Amino acid sequence: MKKYILLFLVSFIIFSCKEEKKDPVTTIVKVEKPKPVYVFGYNLDDYKVINDTIKNGESFGVILDRHHVMYPKINEIATKIKDTFDVRRVRSGKAYTILASKDSIEKAQVFIYKHNKVDATVINFKDSLISAYKVKKKIKTVEKEIAGKIYSNISTTMDSLGLKPTMAINVADIYAWTLDPLRLQKGDNFKLIYEEKYINDTVFVGYGEIKAAVFNHKGKDLHAYKFVGDSIKGIPEYYDEEGNMLRRAFLKSPIKFQYRVSSRYNLRRRIKHYGNRIKAHRGTDFAARYGTEIMSTASGTVVESTRRGGNGNYVKVKHNSTYSTQYLHMKRRNVRVGDYVKQGDIIGWVGMTGSTSGPHVCYRFWKNGRQVDPFREKLPAAEPLDPKIKPKYLEFIKSFKEQLDSIQLPKKEIPVFVEKEILATH
């Protein structure tokens, strides 16, 4: 009897286990297909994408030939797009993208030349309809505020704030006549309202305009506000809080930044290079690193650009019937006779050509055909703000002045940043 009872219990347990066993549940996972990625209107899924950089000695033809485009076709492309893009001007170091066919040949069909992070030229030769057009990536402009104290020099201070060297140069340009960056002293401070530009919110592509600035130098505030004072010319200039233009007819120096005056205008100077004999020095020497850019200190026409004797490579610019300037000892000249140059244009680079013992530019200033010391001359000022425009200007700068006043200076030598997104452009 016990034997049958035990058998019944075992059978019941087995049957119960079978009853509890359920069919497996099938879970369906929906995998979304990746969204296609488009670049300048091209679906990258349709091509083999090749990103590269132009090497030294490479040309447009060499690159396309390597990607299976025959030279007759290359010549046809170059001819048809020459009004939009000169293929001879591709430069080593520039990035490019090739969109090639996704077959075994991988023949190039589209060439994208990237001038910089923002601008590119797209050349389409996929079929007989060859075309080329310029494109620009969308840029977001962000307004920022910053305040800092000078504890060494302006370039070191800007660097400590995380700003690029170009910002220090831009600020030096604005204050070229009202503030000597070499005379800034510890304790001076500044506030800026400026723009930074980004692609995809993260890729920095440069600074926009400096809208307003104030430098406190030796306890005195030096304001600068960007404003279009001449609606006909439409060129913005920087003015102080009273409406006086900061720019003058002539810059103080032909070197933008990081220089020192190694020798001044002196008719009784003893020159070591000439055996310590007295020889009139009718220029001002600005010592700077070899290869530093040299600017024209005012707008005018190039009347001389040559190499001659002790002057070495030099350029002379005639500004009007009264004033001319001359720039000696250049490594290389960047202008030709007859060229019109604007104030601040690069006309050459610091060198050691001619009679010189070190890299510098000898800056000579001519008034009515006679060389004079520009630092002793009462030079003409730039055109003042039209009195009719001044009330509009004072109203325009009111909000900027309040904004500058609200920016807090650091208690110690620590930068203060404030950032706000203002617009998306391009």
Task: Provide, rounded to the nearest whole percent, the portion of the chain with pLDDT above 70.
Answer: 84
Task: Please name the CATH architecture into which domain 39-136 falls.
Answer: Roll (3.10)
Q: How many residues does the chain have?
A: 426
The CATH number of the structural domain formed by 140-248+384-425 is 3.10.450.350
C-alpha 233/C-alpha 72 separation (Å) is 48
- Alpha helix (H) ranges present in 21-70? 60-66
β-strand pairing of 360-367 with 237-239 = unpaired
* Sequence ranges of the chain with CATH classification 2.70.70.10: 260-376
Is 423's pLDDT higher than 60?
no
Distances (CA, A) of 397 to 71, 226, 240, 405: 60, 9, 10, 12
Give the model confidence (pLDDT) of 352-404 as tens digits.
999 888 899 999 999 889 899 888 887 776 777 888 999 999 999 999 999 99
Q: In what order do the strands lie in the sheet with 95-100?
A: 48-53, 95-100, 108-114, 119-124, 131-136
Question: What b/e string do you get for 380-400 counting C-beta neighbours within 10 Å, with b at 16 or more?
Answer: eeeeebeeebeeebeeebeeb
Task: Tell me which of 65-69, 86-90, 155-159, 332-336 is least confident.
Answer: 155-159
Task: Say what the pTM is.
Answer: 0.62
Q: Which CATH class is domain 260-376?
A: mainly beta
Predicted confidence at residue 376, as pLDDT, reads 83
Helix (H, G, I), strand (E, B) or coil at 398: helix
**CA–CA separation, 111 and 96 (whole Å):** 7
**What proportions of the chain, in percent to the nearest 5, are helix, strand and coil?**
20, 35, 40
- 179 vs 308, which has greater pLDDT? 308
pLDDT given for residue 114 in this prediction? 96
Residue 25 reports pLDDT greater than 90: no
Give yes or no for a contact between 302 and 341, defined as CB atoms under 8 angstroms apart: yes
What residue ranges of the chain are covered by domains with CATH 3.10.450.350?
Answer: 39-136, 140-248+384-425
Judge contact between 283 and 311, C-beta under 8 A.
Answer: no
* Strand order across the beta sheet in which 220-227 lies: 237-239, 220-227, 203-217, 189-199, 139-149, 416-425
